[in-house]
A and B are shown apart, each in its own frame.
Chain A
Amino acid sequence: MEQDSRFADFVAERGDALLRYGYVLTGNPHDAADLVQEALLKLRGAWQRVRLKDSPEGYARTTMARLHIAAWRRRRREHLAWDLPEREHHDLLPTGDEQALWETLAGLPRKQRTVLVLRYYEQLTDAEIAALLGISTGTVRSQASRALEKLRSAVPTPQHMTQRSIR
């Protein structure tokens, strides 16, 4: 399949957003970059079909979420096609609560974290999440509930609500 310049355009325009999504899904820059790369490879292979029938970005995001919780990915990571910058990625988040939550998220099972990201970052409904991950709505709710419970125990009483800038 020839490379379609629209694929390059898509990557140029949306690569940044996909990296951000990958970063909240995985919690670290290397896994984020790996996930984006893998999803773009799949998108590249399906480009003609996806471009005509689906949303490339939706395809990429769905692929990333599914890949992230797929068991096989835990066993391998391919070499990245690009070098990540040397800068420190662990900048502190604006409040202690957010920082504590972010660190606690790292301890969640991937599926639980993915459900939270889809719900609170991607703003999807539970039904949409269920369809995207190919699981039941009940499973989405139970995964989210368990995850929130763990987070709540780590951050008992979020404060500073008024100081945050909400998008």
Chain B
Amino acid sequence: MNDLEETLRSTFSHAAGHAPRPPGALAELVETRYRRRGRRNQALLAAGAVVVIAGGATFALTGEDRTGPSPANPQATVSAEVTASAEVTPAEPATGEPEPIQAVRGTPEPIDKVWPQAVHRLPAKLATGGTFRPAAFIDDRTILVTTWASFEKTNVLYAYDLETREARKVADVQTPADTVLFASDFTIGDGRVAWWTATKKAVFLWSVPLSGGEPTLVTEQKAEAGDRAALDPPQIANGRIVFSFRGGGVFTVPIDGGPAEPVADSTKLHVLRWPWIGTGGWYGSFEGTRFGEIRNVDTGETSTAVTKPGETMVSCGVTLCRGSREGLTGSFVRQRDGSQERTVIAHLGPMESLARDRFTSASYSRGKTGGVELHDLNSGVAADLGIRPGADGGMLFPMPARDERLLSYELGDEIMVVDLAKIP
């Protein structure tokens, strides 16, 4: 090796010492981005053509027009352009013989034709001129909406009347100095709305009466670096806010302020749907089935979800689990005990649960067009949300809100609000 090569070697070696340092939460950042990208790619791939139904459920969609069940065409036609979406197959029948798969070809109808009673089309701006974002249902005709001072930085909460389209201010949302996570996870209960913010050093829980007022600082929880600096989505129950740290640990605190109390034996657990708490949570690293082990804090009842070898990405709710396995296109959905499995040709992300145990959104494509559909896994009915790809081929993909009732998205100059509770 000559001098130049030797100098080159030492140059690289010394220069490497000037490299930037990775952030402590690099793995988590990558994970977040991985999931976001997965969803985007899913939307870009979008899906096409086929719907496979089984067991009498008519599912989905493609083709140029909706023709309804077609006895003359009992076999699903799977074309190469089909990549995702809308496919549902039944659990393997008890006989062990697969049921013949039937296909229904057709284009889903617009959602306000399929479920008109559930859809509200609203002007995208408040009377005062600001753009708003729906957060949750307050009651049958009122939703909680937010306005932003800047990207995702909520500054005002309003109660929005779906009939009169008038917005009543509930509260100003203050963002304390040094806040790194803006107001998140607005949740409603007991006549109040609660949310949380975080600095690098602490998490703050807030609440305010829906009738209006100044937000109350419910509790401040000092945080170490890492997981404890953020919360899972809190819930409201029996006059208390139930919250858990993303690193685990469930607490309750009076909704209008007071000392937080840990839930017994919950050090590594997360709130699922109160009074159910369990393992894993939605965020961060976790090996195994998310909420595979759950416990009812009130009754002591426990439940362990059935997971089979080779399955990945298994996440469970109180009643259902969904996940993937090698060779399966899409996701399976089944009861926690492993029964009643169905396959949904839509990739459900780790954060996605089926709203009301039945609704999910999925993308599709048909020739050069694509869109997003809302699927009702109970009835096998799907409806077109009207969303179309932008110039870059991407689509925003609305997900049901945490209240499991609100689905909202922008469509041109309008905001669409779907009340999932009004779908029979």
A contact residues vs B (CB 8 Å cutoff): 1-8, 10-12, 15-16, 18-24, 29, 32-33, 36-37, 40-41, 44-45, 48, 81-85, 89-91, 93-94, 97-98, 101-102, 105, 116-117, 120-121, 148, 151-152, 155, 157-158, 161, 164-167
Contact = CB atoms under 8 A, between A and B. Distances in A.
Nearest to A37: B30
8 contacts: A5-B286, A7-B27, A8-B31, A11-B27, A23-B18, A29-B19, A93-B15, A151-B4
Interface in B251-304: 284-288, 290
Contacts of B313: 1-2
Given A11-B27, A12-B27, A98-B11, A20 B17 contact: yes
B20 A151 contact: no
Nearest to A79: B33
Given A23-B16, A23-B20, A101-B7, 14 more contacts: A1-B312, A2-B290, A8-B31, A11-B22, A16-B22, A19-B22, A33-B22, A36-B22, A93-B11, A98-B7, A98-B15, A121-B9, A155-B4, A164-B7
B13 interface: yes
Taking each of A4, A40, A89, which has the highest tally of chain B beta carbons within 10 Å of its own beta carbon? A40
Taking each of B3, B11, B12, which has the highest tally of chain A beta carbons within 10 Å of its own beta carbon? B11
Contact of B8 (A36, A91, A94, A120): A120
Interface residues of B, number: 44
A2 B287 contact: yes
A18 B16 CA distance: 10
Contact of A81 (B16, B17, B30): B30
B139 interface: no
Contacts of B18: 23, 89-91
A151 B8 contact: yes
B5 interface: yes
Contacts of A148: 4-5, 8
Contacts of A20: 16-17, 19
Given A1-B324, A98-B14, A161-B6, A32 B20 contact: yes
Contacts of B20: 19, 23, 29, 32-33, 84-85, 89
B22 A101 contact: no
Interface in B310-363: 312-315, 324, 350
A158 B7 CA distance: 7
Contacts of B3: 157-158, 161
A3 B34 CA distance: 10
> Which 3 pairs between the two chains have the least Cβ-Cβ distance?
A23-B19, A15-B22, A8-B27
Contacts, number: 154
Contacts of A85: 20-21
B19 A22 contact: yes
B80 to A, nearest CB: 23
Nearest to A98: B11
B29 interface: yes
B19 A2 contact: no
Contact of A167 (B13, B30, B286): B13
Nearest to A117: B12
Given A102-B15, A161-B6, A41 B287 contact: no
A41 B358 CA distance: 31
B307 to A, nearest CB: 11
Contacts of B30: 11, 37, 40-41, 44, 81
A22 to B, nearest CB: 7
A101 B16 contact: no
Interface in B24-49: 25-34, 37
Nearest to B8: A120
A98 B26 contact: no
A41 B13 CA distance: 26
B96 interface: no
Nearest to A24: B12
Contacts of A15: 22, 26-27
A14 to B, nearest CB: 9
B285 A5 contact: yes
Contacts of A23: 15-16, 18-20
Nearest to B324: A1
A104 to B, nearest CB: 10
A5 B14 CA distance: 32
A71 B5 CA distance: 28
B16 A44 contact: no
A41 B12 contact: no
A12 to B, nearest CB: 6
Contacts of A29: 19-20
Contacts of A16: 19, 21-22
